[in-house]
Structure 1
Amino acid sequence: MSNNTNSLLSVGTCYFGAGQLADSHFIPCGNADLGGPQACCYENDYCLSSNTCWDPDTVVTYIAGCTDPLFRSDKCPQRINYPDQQWVAIARCEGDDIDIWTGCAQHPDEIEIEKENCVCNMTNQLIQNPNGKDSFDEIGRLPNMTGQAIAYNPTAVPSATTAANRSDGGLSTGAKAGVGVGVAIAGLLLIAGAVVLFLRHRRNQRQTDREKAELDSPQYRPTQYEYGRNEKSELVGDGYRGLSMGTAGQKSELSSERPVQEMG
């Protein structure tokens, strides 16, 4: 099955910092080609919640990297004060801070996970577990190389919908906020344009209605140019022609003469 359609495989390239390619032993905790950026852990180790890892051989909890080469995705672990380490061991604090995990740096140049005597140090706080939890949830155990299936915990198996959505897409929180602001501004500009067009249409409609009302008003009287000079001429002409015809007829009848012999 293609890597682009199987969400159960470990697929992608891991980085432990922006532009810092991780050792090939670090592999993704999911299919980066299908589901977007993924956290990374050492091969055969466990992927946990909050982008953390656990090595069963050394019983060390640690953070490593992610598949985003810019290291901006929310799948990339916080690595303040440890920019050049392939992995960073973490230790849980106690008491009121039992949900906080801090970092250690005993083996900054090591690739393979090693035993750490790591204790809480609040100056190197890396993770605050959500909801005050004092432990991480298991996602699944990695295979020994990329392209192989991850042994997912039944409660953490990625769904086809989640993978297809690629909900993260590599955007940081700041980038997502920028996109949101851009969309909001575009929406406001569209609304403003619609308001301007509406007001312009209403103004034109009012002008048309006002002109129509003036034409229909009983106070309105056309000018002599609207009556037309031709109409007046035709009325005068017709009257003149009728008078001429009547005069001619009368004159003809009055001036007719009978023969003398008929009168005698």
Structure 2
Amino acid sequence: MQICKILSVLSLAIEIAGQTTTCYWPNGIANTAAKPCPTPRGKAAAACCFDNHYCLTNGLCMDPDDDTLYRGACTDSKFGAEGCPKYCDRSEISGADPGRHIGLWGCEPPAVYACGQPNECLQANFTIEQPGKIMLNTAVESDLGITATATSSSTPSSSARTELNNGISAGAAAGIGVGVGVPLAIAVVVLSFLLVRERKKVKAAEAATPMGAFSSPDPKYGPPPPWAPGQHGNAVSPEVPTATLQARHELPQ
């Protein structure tokens, strides 16, 4: 079973709250391509990342296709509210550009970064809040195979209580988590969903195996060996691996 992957889900920092629909670059120009992230608890604003990208608790964004970090936009037009990503956001910072997203280049030692290019590591490097954990947004839900309808109310109506693929109520998840940020409660729901999905995969694999496929033609060899641990999948950690974040991030503005 994908035990490591399931356990890693429990460490997701899930902060779901109300959010505005407009995002802005540090120079105050609206950015219609970015999507607001969940607003962290106690913060006045939220970071914005491109569609299908992951939001991190430190305000940065992650492209899951190549594991690169970048500073995106923010829901505060002045980019001064707590919760906006204050990285590479001013023109006086070497390698920064307040009018677009900026990729972060990993320097040495680990957790030290620079704006845009590796040569900037010698010019103006900085540290970021560690660890940056993934927050639950539509991109994460899609990659986890979760289909849910969340409402703005802490007690969703019966019409909003859609069901997940394996019978877990999305309304129940929304009721205990939306707007108040209860990571453990939602993580338990996600864990239950993954356990049920893994059990179905195992049953389907057993049903597709021909009778006698695991029996030895000669009794002297004894029963076949058991499945090896982790044979059904690879573990995925929600924490960003700093060693792999070395590529410059380029996206349309």
Higher RCO structure, 1 or 2 (CA under 8 Å, sep 6+): 2
Normalised by the size of structure 1, how large is the TM-score? Answer: 0.40
Greater helix fraction, Structure 1 or Structure 2: 1
State the structure with more CA Rg. 1
**TM-score, length of structure 2 as denominator length:** 0.42
